């Protein structure tokens, strides 16, 4: 889902509010667009020399569970601060977690094959429309700049980045078409509404609501009144489902006496059904209809959908990796000599690889070199089984080493002063036993919040696409959105140098992804291609197959709910549970100094499926560990400058 991808209200409106240089009292305040809960500029803190702080207790023993983006970011920033006793534990033999760039079948790089982003794929940099993405005040913008990552506008359906978007609803009969028709949406200026009366009406109602709310949010964001306004918005909408918000009556205007009330979208049942299927042309929103309405509002209004970027990697214009550490290594191994995926610096995987292998300016060695040269620095292929709080205040981490070879798997444990947990929350409940944490260290309410969190499934079907499709085809739209089981189809090109382009044959969430679980990967690939051909042939204005352009045998399928290291692709929350989700983000500030346990990353955030909360959660853990160990914060920062998450009174 990418709410509002065909327009950039947050980024466009943001540039209209050109506030002057921030005063000393507002030095750490974020600017719009940015996530709403903590109005805090994490980039200002991290981009300083030495990063967050200078450690005083450098030997404070820290374990980080999970080598996804959150775990790698935590480790890198602790390394920059000068902490020397860090252990990074990873269950799989691959770093990056749900940032998963596949380079051919079985992840074997095939010459000319483009990368397939099987997990996260479109990155918001939170930039205004009049500035480059890397100038956005976000951690994604900072790391993309720091690691010299090449990027381009992501080819979202309905956006100016695609040549055209095909919309196929109700077997081509929407708006009473006498013949099955695929509506063609060309939006080269970013301001053209989708075609047809029905889609136009849906678009207009969404646009009216979004403009009213975004205009007011951008006016208050970063001011002394922001926290109270956001609190009012939360109280109004946290118990409302997205489905109900879509049908909720509109209001004529916003009233200062009721600052959190922006009404609803006022859609009819038929309009809501269209909105459910395709949003406003950019992909199905039905999977999110029953979640808390604050989730899609956050996504649409606060910059998660503006100027989304496709990450090419640490590469040149031809897609060839530039000189980078360990790029030409035969293999890379952990502290115990076990092999894990070596860096290719291609696609979004380059972000995780850069966090591990690129040396920070302030340190003598890269994070990888620092970890691998220690006996218990980087441990892969190892599953944590128990966390036990000891009477001496330390946490004993039990893990099974070398789990991919059960016949020689060994059980180990290490004692730590602090433990950062970055895992998807369901993995904690199902695979890790917690012992010795009393109610003052780990309240039952926190345990319940992560146990009952809603994790959604997602399925992606990628394949190589002949270059002649985008170069010569004039009939089939570049992107297609349907209410068929395939739902969303993306085609795009990284560069002219690779032999093939990409087609994301099917991108589904929730029930739409679950219903595909019956089929094997090969069956699903065939079924998606056949269904797409059927739709195109039935559309009287197309009458052409797409299958001749697709590399069927080289297709790859990823089902995140079946991934044993993830058990889902993103964490959502139902109406009425928003404050539970926020309590997980508050945990580090309120309880970690007692427990030694830090909950970090997207799993403990309210912005599911995005990379920015991974970064922010990582830095939050670093800030709180630095505070606990009396580190010297850089740039005059103190914990008084760090706002606190607000929960229900």
Range of the domain at 388: 48-95+334-451+573-641
The tens digit of pLDDT for each residue in 212-234 reads 999 999 999 999 999 999 999 99
Place of tokens 């700049």: 145
Q: Are both 526 and 418 inside the same structural domain? A: no
Same domain, 176 and 271: yes
Is the distance from CB of 211 to CB of 253 less than 8 angstroms?
no
Instruction: Tell the residue number behind the tokens 């596949």, with chain if given.
Output: 102
Task: With respect to residue 470, please indicate whether it lies within any of the assigned structural domains.
Answer: yes
Residues 441 and 340 in one domain: yes
* One domain for residues 393 and 423: yes
- Burial label, 375 (beta-carbon count in 10 A; 0-12, 13-18, 19+): exposed
- What's the N-to-C CA distance of the chain in angstroms? 32
User: Is 423 a member of any domain?
Assistant: yes
pTM for the complete prediction? 0.95
Helix and strand numbers (H, E) in the chain are 18, 26
State the 10-residue block means of pLDDT for the chain, 649 residues long.
Answer: 49 61 70 94 96 98 98 98 98 96 66 86 93 96 98 92 93 88 91 89 92 92 93 96 96 94 96 84 77 92 91 95 97 97 96 98 97 97 98 98 93 98 94 97 96 92 97 95 93 92 95 92 98 98 97 95 92 93 96 98 90 97 98 97 84
At residue 490's C-alpha, the angle toward residues 489 and 491, to 5°, is 125
**253, 279, 301 — which closes off a domain?**
301
- What is the CATH classification number for the domain harbouring 494? 3.90.660.10
Q: What is the DSSP string of 171-216?
A: GGTGGG-SS---EEE--TTS-PPPSSHHHHHHHHHHHHHHHHHHHH
Q: Do 579 and 545 fall within a single domain?
A: no
CB 84 within 8 A of CB 417: no
**Can you give the CATH number for the domain in which 195 is found?**
1.10.405.40
Whether the CB-CB separation of 344 and 159 falls below 8 Å is answered with no
Asked if residue 50 lies in contact with residue 81, where contact means CB atoms within 8 angstroms, the answer is yes
381 and 502 share a domain? no
Q: Would you say residue 10 lies in a domain?
A: no
Task: Give domain status of residue 111, yes or no.
Answer: no
Q: Which of 567, 596, 614 is the last residue of a domain?
A: 567
How high is the pLDDT of residue 608? Answer: 81
Where on the phi/psi map is residue 568: left (φ > 0), alpha (ψ -120 to 50), or beta? left
- Asked whether residue 21 is domain-assigned, the answer is no
Return the DSSP state at 322. Answer: P
Whether 31 and 19 have beta carbons less than 8 Å apart is answered as yes
- The CA distance from 505 to 516, in Å, is 13
Distance CA 432, CA 438 (A): 16
Contacts 24+ apart (CB under 8 A), 224-229: 226/39, 227/39, 227/643, 227/646, 228/259, 229/259, 229/260
How many domains in the chain? 3
CA angle 39, 5, 101 (to 5 degrees): 85
380 within some domain: yes
Supply the pLDDT for residue 283.
67
Q: How far apart are CA 278 and CA 507, in angstroms?
A: 12
Contact yes or no for 102/88 (Cβ under 8 A): no
Is the sign of the CA dihedral 542, 545, 547, 550 positive or negative?
Answer: negative
d(C-alpha 172, C-alpha 182), whole Å: 6
For residue 550, is it within any domain? yes
C-alpha distances in Å from residue 81, one per residue of 53, 367, 387: 5, 12, 26
Cα separation, 115 vs 101, in Å, equals 6
pLDDT for position 189: 85
Cis peptide preceding 33, ω within 30 of 0: yes
398 and 429 share a domain? yes
Of the three residues 530, 548, 567, the one that is the final residue of a domain is 567
Q: What sign does the dihedral 252-255-258-261 (CA atoms) show? A: positive
Tokens of 614: 């991974």
**Strand 339-340 and strand 332-333: pairing?**
antiparallel
Are both 177 and 208 inside the same structural domain? Answer: yes
In DSSP terms, which residues pair with 489 in a beta bridge? 480
3-state secondary structure string across 240-292: CEHHHHHHCCCCCCCCCCCCCCCCCCCCCHHHHHHHHHHCCCCCCCHHHCCCE
């Amino acid at each position: 889902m990418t709410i509002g991808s065909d327009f950039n209200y947050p980024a466009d409106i943001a540039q209209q509010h050109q506030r002057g240089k921030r005063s000393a009292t507002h030095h750490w305040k974020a600017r719009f667009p940015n996530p709403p809960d903590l109005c805090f500029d994490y980039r200002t803190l991290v981009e300083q020399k030495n990063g967050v702080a200078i450690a005083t207790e450098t030997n404070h023993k820290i374990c980080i569970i999970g080598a996804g983006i959150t775990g790698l970011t935590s480790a890198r920033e602790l390394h920059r601060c000068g902490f020397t006793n860090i252990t990074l534990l990873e269950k799989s033999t691959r770093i990056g977690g749900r940032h998963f760039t596949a380079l051919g079948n079985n992840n074997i790089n095939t010459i000319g094959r483009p990368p397939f982003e099987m997990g996260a794929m479109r990155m918001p940099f939170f930039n205004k429309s009049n500035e480059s993405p890397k100038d956005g005040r976000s951690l994604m913008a900072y790391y993309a700049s720091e690691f010299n990552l090449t990027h381009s506008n992501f080819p979202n359906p309905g956006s100016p980045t695609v040549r055209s978007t095909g919309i196929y609803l109700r077997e081509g009969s929407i708006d009473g078409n006498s013949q099955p028709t695929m509506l063609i949406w060309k939006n080269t200026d970013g301001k053209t509404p989708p075609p047809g009366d029905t889609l136009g009406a849906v678009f207009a109602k969404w646009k009216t609501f979004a403009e009213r709310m975004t205009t007011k949010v951008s006016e208050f964001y970063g001011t002394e009144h922001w926290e109270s306004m956001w609190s009012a918005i939360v109280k109004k909408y946290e118990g409302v489902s997205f489905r109900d918000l879509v049908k909720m009556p509109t209001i004529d205007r916003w009233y200062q006496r009721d600052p959190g009330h922006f009404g609803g979208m006022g859609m009819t049942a038929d309009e809501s059904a269209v909105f459910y299927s395709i949003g406003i042309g950019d992909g199905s929103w039905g999977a999110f209809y029953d979640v808390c309405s604050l989730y899609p509002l956050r996504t649409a209004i606060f910059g998660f959908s503006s100027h989304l970027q496709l990450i090419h990697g640490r590469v040149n214009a031809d897609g060839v990796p530039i000189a980078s550490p360990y790029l030409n290594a035969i293999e890379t191994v952990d502290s115990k000599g076990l092999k894990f995926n070596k860096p290719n610096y291609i696609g979004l995987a380059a972000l995780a690889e850069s966090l591990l292998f690129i040396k920070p300016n302030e340190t003598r060695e890269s994070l990888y070199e620092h970890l691998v040269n220690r006996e218990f620095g980087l441990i892969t292929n190892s599953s944590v089984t128990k966390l036990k709080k000891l009477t001496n205040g330390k946490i004993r981490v039990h893990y099974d080493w070398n789990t991919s070879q059960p016949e020689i798997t060994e059980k180990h444990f290490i004692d730590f002063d602090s433990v950062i947990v970055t895992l998807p929350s369901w993995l904690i409940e199902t695979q890790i036993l917690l012992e010795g944490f009393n109610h003052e260290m780990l309240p039952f309410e926190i345990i319940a919040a992560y146990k009952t969190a809603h994790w959604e499934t997602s399925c992606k079907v990628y394949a190589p696409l002949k270059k002649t499709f985008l170069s010569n085809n004039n009939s089939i739209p570049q992107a297609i959105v349907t209410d068929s089981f395939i739902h969303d189809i993306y085609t795009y090109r990284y560069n002219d140098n690779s032999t093939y382009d990409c087609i994301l044959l099917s991108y589904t969430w929730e029930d739409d992804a679950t219903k595909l679980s019956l089929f094997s990967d090969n069956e699903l690939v065939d079924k998606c291609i056949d269904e797409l051909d059927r739709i195109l042939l039935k559309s009287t204005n197309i009458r052409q197959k797409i299958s001749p352009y697709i590399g069927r045998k080289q297709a790859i399928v990823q089902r995140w709910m079946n991934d044993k290291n993830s058990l889902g692709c993103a964490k959502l929350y139902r109406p009425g549970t928003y404050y539970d989700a926020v309590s997980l983000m508050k945990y580090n500030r309120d309880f970690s100094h007692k427990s030694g346990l830090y909950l970090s990353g997207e799993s403990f955030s309210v912005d599911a499926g995005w990379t920015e909360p991974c970064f922010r959660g990582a830095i939050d853990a670093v800030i709180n560990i630095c505070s606990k160990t009396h580190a010297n914060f850089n740039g005059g920062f103190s914990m008084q400058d760090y706002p606190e998450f607000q929960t229900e009174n």
